[in-house]
Structure 1
Amino acid sequence: MTGIAIIGAGVAGTALALALHENGIPCRIYEARNAGFDVIYGGVTITPNGCRVLDALGVLERVAPRCYKIESMSYKNDRDETTERVDRGSREKFGYAAHRMYRKELFDELKAMLEERGVPVMYGTKFERVVGESASEGVIFEVSGGRRQRAALLVGADGIWSSVRKYIAPSCVPEYTGFAGILAHIPTSSVRWPSDDFEFPCTIQGKPGSLVFLPEVPDQSTLAVIRQFAFPARERAGWEALQADKEHLFASFREGYEDWGATARSIIDQVCTRKEDIFLWPFHKVPKMDRWNSVTGRVLIVGDAAHALPPSSGQGANQALEDVYSLTLLLHEVLPELKTTTPRSTGLLTAALDFWNSWRHKRIDAVISMTNATNIRRLPEAERLSKTGNGKLNETLDPQQNEDWEKWMFQPDIDGEIVAWVQSHCRANAAKGSKI
């Protein structure tokens, strides 16, 4: 078989399949779970960089009517005074507002678009191992029951606990960051707001830490509410037990209750009346890897499999979308034969992936800097002041304070970067007399 085998039918895998199909590159998805598997409950924020990818794939116009549009995040103190605003999207500055939606809405739309285009998704088919890879055979791999399959390339989009990553970097395992989030949903109308025009989304910074809340739907009728805490590390069974212990989670969510202002207390009160609707999310990350592909370049990983970020980054899905879009454009430019056969040129593929890895690593490093700033903002007041002096972050601590950095993050010229590299590489090799 030719084309690209994708392992994992989450957002990264389905978006990659859609991008490849739109560029005429055959692909198929292998998913261990059965059709109709559960998607993580809650919303996802697609910032302008992610919106640009969804727009290019024709997805954004289909999901936009179900999205809450975000231009900035306001920060308030316990007296409901706005202390800071941080851009999260701007039609004027970046071309798009950020779009908040339930994760399932995005996932269902991607699946529907694949079905409309006839892209095969093999559910209940678990990836087992890579048997081998070569220029002549492509990648030979095994799925459920030891069945052998072949593809020109194999891309792991199988999440933070990726099986494909074990082939590329066996010693690379996810690390717990020391933090976990507790997430709940409440009706917006249930809260005693200080005014009818209270700004959303918002982070209230108080003595006990930060309380983050934002609408999940266009009419603002439902709020997602999040608090972030330091929790001791646990094995999987320990996290599952804590998730089941609703009383413990609510006690944690109420921590420092008397030190919050009136608005925050009203929100916490409403969270604690809905014991069935609370979710624990331990923050794990994937350690930095030298590269996200095998030596030959025929096995790759994208999204959370390559660089899982804590949810506080707000960029997990967005960086996955950047991954799949940029990778597809690059493959389309340098390996047009992927449309019909297994490419024999390993040199060109590895050179292209060296560029891709370098460029993508720079952007992930920048997201990590942004995430560190967000985590400082969410600390209890005493810790926040110890790191900032006055409670506010400067450009050294928070690159988002720099407008040029914001433009670089939220308005990347992915097409331009790819075309520029291809042209430069071709000129350099022409000068050397190389055919690759």
Structure 2
Amino acid sequence: MPASAAPTIAIIGGGLSGLALAIFVARLLPDATIKIYEVRPADQPSSWGTINMTPNALRVLDRLGVYKTIAPQGYNFDNLTMLNHNLDLFASVPIANVAEFGYQSLRIERRLIHAALLKEARSKPQIEILYDRKCTGITDSPSSSTVSITFSSGETVTADLLIACDGIHSTVRKSFVSDPAAREAHFMNQLSIGGFITAAEIAEYSPKNVTYPIMMFAPESQTGANFMLWPYTHDGQNLTFFTTLPKETEEADWKAAYDDKQKLKDILMETFSAPDSPWNTLVKRTIELSDASKYRHWAFYKHTLPEKFYSDSGRVIIIGDAAHAMPPSGGQGGAMAFEDAETLAYTLAYTLRDSNGSSRLGSATALENLQKWSDHRLQRLRTIAELNARMTSLRKAGNGFVGGVLFAVKMWVIWIMSWLGVLGRTRRAVNNYDAKKEAEVLFGEAITKME
């Protein structure tokens, strides 16, 4: 592709999806100029906490060349153990395995994945990362050959193509979807609170012969509906714990509201260690022994899916949470972003990798290809959203007598679903997705010759 036809691509957001996309595009469109604009400072490039990666995500990370680096740093597992609040076992739910999917599931610190992707991105000379860049608006018109991007500093830049990975409260999404107010992220009245503990600290309270990770359920909302303990280091000795609680009011500033981490620990102490609490000693002691300074919280937000993930001009595209945010209860938010990145990269390469290069942006062919990609991703996301809704429902609390009845029903439903193989079919629908093969279905086997 001649240099004069090489596209300039701006990526808003240097998180997991933005870096993954940049690496794929640099590989598939080696003459492209790629600039990533990240709101965070260079010395704090990633958020912290842990994330779960299922085989559909790990397949993408393997193609990016980072899976073998990160796998030994996280906790690899096959099953999720489900217990009630008395530590009675009622299900061991298969999540992933090498024999069936090529990968186990992986729980790992988010910053480790980010660091591996950042290293890979920095090895590509056509990728430049600029920090302290907060996007405040864009100008995009079907009649224009470029997109204009404005930052909070007053700086304005242009690019042939803008891809937004700027999260659930995306500035870019609001700029081009129809009825932006209807697609504003809204609070789901649920708050997750968690912290960290070591396996050694709670060993004497843990049930014997029970394999981590474990998810525990109880019936009463006033004592918490669920509690999870999940290893995130390779040896299984470092655990993250978290729960989801109802919260009626939204905070104007979540960070400021819980700047005092002791406040978060106090909420869990009051919730799980009340005098009438039915919860087991393992849960109570985990909270009591944990370090308040390491607590964190997640407010559950989601927004309505747009009709399509690209603007009318075809020069603005959204992926990840900006396109389809969902609560973390299904454990697929990160995976969906990685799937987006790989499938979009193949779509762009298929569209632009010829002698016409960037001149094809905005053409009827380019728009047709983007529509194929967007329609495919929307169908996939609706499937995942159904799974996510079921998991969110499982983690909701009931209250009083009704809560107790619903709790018993919930336990039976999980057991029956496991016994009938329903959870297995769901697992396969999630884990078997192969972004490269899906791109081949959309655009033909020529995709395989692009690398």
TM-score > 0.5, shorter chain as reference:
yes
Q: Write the mapping of 1:309-348 to structure 2, written as runs, cut at 5 A.
A: 309-337=326-354, 340-344=357-361, 346-348=363-365
Cα displacement (A) at 1:146: 4.1
Superposed CA deviations along residues 162-192 of structure 1, whole A, max 9, x for unmatched, are 1111212232211101101001001111112
Aligned length: 423
Question: Does 2:295 match 1:284?
Answer: no
Q: Find the residue that maps to 1:236 and give its secondary structure.
A: coil
Q: 1:64 to 1:423 in 2, by over 3 A?
A: closer
Q: Which amino acid is the alignment partner of residue 353 of structure 1? A: L
Question: Does 2:283 match 1:264?
Answer: yes
* Counterpart for residue 158 of structure 1: 166
Give the stretch that moved more between structures: 357-366 or 58-67. Answer: 357-366
Does the 8 Å contact 1:3/1:340 carry over to 2?
no
* Counterpart for residue 411 of structure 1: 432
Q: Write the mapping of 1:24-423 to structure 2, written as runs, cut at 5 A.
A: 24-25=29-30, 26=32, 27-37=34-44, 39-118=46-125, 119-134=127-142, 137-143=145-151, 145-169=153-177, 170-171=180-181, 172-191=183-202, 192-195=204-207, 197-207=209-219, 208=223, 209-237=225-253, 240-244=256-260, 246-247=262-263, 249-257=265-273, 258-271=277-290, 274-337=291-354, 340-344=357-361, 346-380=363-397, 382-383=402-403, 385-386=405-406, 389=409, 391-393=411-413, 401-423=422-444
Distance in 2, matches of 1:143 and 1:194, equals 51
Distance in 1, matches of 2:248 and 2:145, equals 47
Distance in 2, matches of 1:347 and 1:242, equals 49
Q: Which amino acid is the alignment partner of residue 218 of structure 2? A: G
Does the 8 Å contact 1:126/1:144 carry over to 2?
yes
* Normalised TM-score (structure 1): 0.89
Cα displacement (A) at 1:280: 1.8
Cα displacement (A) at 1:131: 2.5
Distance in 1, matches of 2:80 and 2:110, equals 20
Cα displacement (A) at 1:76: 1.0
* Counterpart for residue 28 of structure 2: 23
In structure 2, runs of 5+ residues without a counterpart are 1-5, 446-451
Distance in 1, matches of 2:334 and 2:389, equals 18
Q: 1:404 to 1:290 in 2, by over 3 A?
A: same
Does the 8 Å contact 1:385/1:391 carry over to 2?
no
Q: Find the residue that maps to 1:199 and give its secondary structure.
A: coil
Q: Which amino acid is the alignment partner of residue 179 of structure 1? A: Q
Does the 8 Å contact 2:214/2:230 carry over to 1?
yes
Q: Find the residue that maps to 1:203 and give its secondary structure.
A: strand
Q: 1:339 to 1:267 in 2, by over 3 A?
A: farther
Q: 1:294 to 1:179 in 2, by over 3 A?
A: same
Give the stretch that moved more between structures: 21-30 or 98-107. Answer: 21-30
Distance in 2, matches of 1:339 and 1:179, equals 50
Cα displacement (A) at 1:149: 2.6
Does the 8 Å contact 1:373/1:397 carry over to 2?
no
Distance in 1, matches of 2:140 and 2:397, equals 51
Superposed CA deviations along residues 313-366 of structure 1, whole A, max 9, x for unmatched, are 211111100000110111112331499534255211221222222221222222
Q: Which amino acid is the alignment partner of residue 7 of structure 2? A: T
What percentage of aligned pairs have identical amino acids?
Answer: 23
Q: 1:84 to 1:40 in 2, by over 3 A?
A: same
Distance in 1, matches of 2:252 and 2:356, equals 42
Distance in 1, matches of 2:407 and 2:217, equals 15
* Normalised TM-score (structure 2): 0.86
Distance in 2, matches of 1:55 and 1:65, equals 13
Cα displacement (A) at 1:416: 2.6
Q: Which amino acid is the alignment partner of residue 84 of structure 1? A: A
* Counterpart for residue 434 of structure 1: none
Cα displacement (A) at 1:144: 5.2
Distance in 2, matches of 1:384 and 1:322, equals 39
Cα displacement (A) at 1:246: 2.3
Q: Find the residue that maps to 2:147 and give its secondary structure.
A: strand
Cα displacement (A) at 1:288: 1.9
* Counterpart for residue 3 of structure 2: none
Does the 8 Å contact 2:91/2:415 carry over to 1?
no
Cα displacement (A) at 1:194: 4.3
Superposed CA deviations along residues 41-88 of structure 1, whole A, max 9, x for unmatched, are 211111100000000111101111101102121101234332112232
Does the 8 Å contact 1:2/1:338 carry over to 2?
no
Does the 8 Å contact 2:268/2:287 carry over to 1?
no
Does the 8 Å contact 2:394/2:410 carry over to 1?
no
* CA RMSD after TM alignment: 2.8
Give the stretch that moved more between structures: 111-120 or 4-13. Answer: 111-120
Give the stretch that moved more between structures: 127-136 or 281-290. Answer: 127-136
